[in-house]
């Protein structure tokens, strides 16, 4: 990951040519750095010889069949450049994430910040580290707790309703538009709570394991454990169980309107 960040990602930061950025779906962009980084990471993981399937964000965009059975067997998940919109605009944060998943459960993960070189790692039942030092989730100690609500894919009226309900007891902050940063913020005490509507596997597997191994809590909106490829919708994450409970009583209450959504995210 460090090699790919140094040789593929960072040389293109703030120097992308117009032809090196394109729209892959409405509102979603991809850069040459995303594609080249994924190719290099794919080859590196394949060389490890674990016999795991390898599913990257950009490959799955081109061939959605790759997502079939994503919750079965041993799978490498690659997010080669999370926060692409930030990267393309020449601003932080953005990151790289890799997770090894077994039967839908993340068992090892890595989150790299190419700008600072910060590397977060977690292994199931073995704990989490940040730059090689043990990482334990700590809350911000602010009152009210800080919450980053990933609601930008909601219809405007639903987004307004959710934020209105949340603001009764939470300090609602702008989201970083980068899951690789969001999960690390929960562990480092910068944010207390995070909510996500879309749960594409590569966006959350690495961060979910890092957070839980550091002592935080994450579930789907219905309270079931987070699982890659499961039937659960959305995720709610927090630096500890008490903060998760406080947030759930607000944003997962019927008054917040999340469960009225008909679309499957």
pLDDT at 181: 98
Q: Determine if residue 209 is left, alpha or beta; phi over 0 gives left, psi from -120 to 50 gives alpha, anything else beta.
A: alpha
pLDDT beyond 50 at 184: yes
Q: What is the pLDDT of residues 4-23, one digit of tens each?
A: 999 999 999 999 998 999 99
Confidence tier at 261 by pLDDT (50, 70, 90): low
Secondary-structure percent of the chain, ordered helix, strand, coil, rounded to 5 = 35, 25, 40
pLDDT at 151: 87
Q: What is the mean pLDDT of the chain?
A: 95
pLDDT at 15: 97
Structural domains of the chain, ranges and CATH numbers in brackets: 2-130 (3.30.540.10), 146-260 (3.40.190.80)
Would you call 16 exposed, middle or buried from its count of C-beta atoms within 10 A (0-12, 13-18, 19+)?
Answer: middle
d(CA 215, CA 59): 33
Would you call 22 exposed, middle or buried from its count of C-beta atoms within 10 A (0-12, 13-18, 19+)?
Answer: exposed
For 93-97, 190-194, 195-199, 204-208, which range has the lowest pLDDT when averaged over its residues?
195-199
Q: What is the pLDDT of residues 133-152, one digit of tens each?
A: 999 999 999 999 999 999 88
pLDDT at 152: 84
Q: What is the pLDDT of residues 85-133, one digit of tens each?
A: 999 999 999 999 999 999 999 999 999 999 999 999 999 999 999 999 9
């Amino acid at each position: 990951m460090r090699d790919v960040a140094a040789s593929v990602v960072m040389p293109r930061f703030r120097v992308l040519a117009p032809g090196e950025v394109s729209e892959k779906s409405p509102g979603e962009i991809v850069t040459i750095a995303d594609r080249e980084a994924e190719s290099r990471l794919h080859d590196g993981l394949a060389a490890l010889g674990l016999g795991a399937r390898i599913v990257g964000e950009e490959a799955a965009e081109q061939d959605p069949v790759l997502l079939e059975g994503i919750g079965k067997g041993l799978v490498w998940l690659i997010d080669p450049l999370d926060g692409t919109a930030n990267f393309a605009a020449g601003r932080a944060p953005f990151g790289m994430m890799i997770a090894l998943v077994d039967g839908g459960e993340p068992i090892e993960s890595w989150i790299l910040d190419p700008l600072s070189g910060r590397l977060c790692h977690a292994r199931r039942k073995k704990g989490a580290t940040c730059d090689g030092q043990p990482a334990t989730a700590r809350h911000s100690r602010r009152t009210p707790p800080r919450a980053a609500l990933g609601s930008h894919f909601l219809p405007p009226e639903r987004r307004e309703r959710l934020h209105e309900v949340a603001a009764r007891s939470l300090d609602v902050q702008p989201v970083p538009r980068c899951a690789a940063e969001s999960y690390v913020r929960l562990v480092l005490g910068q944010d207390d709570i995070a909510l996500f509507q879309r749960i594409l596997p590569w966006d959350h597997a690495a961060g979910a394991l890092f957070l839980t191994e550091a002592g935080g809590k994450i579930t789907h909106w219905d309270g079931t454990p987070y699982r890659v490829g499961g039937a659960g919708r959305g995720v709610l994450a927090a630096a500890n169980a008490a903060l998760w409970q406080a947030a759930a009583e607000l944003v997962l209450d019927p008054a917040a309107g999340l469960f009225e959504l008909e679309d499957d995210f």
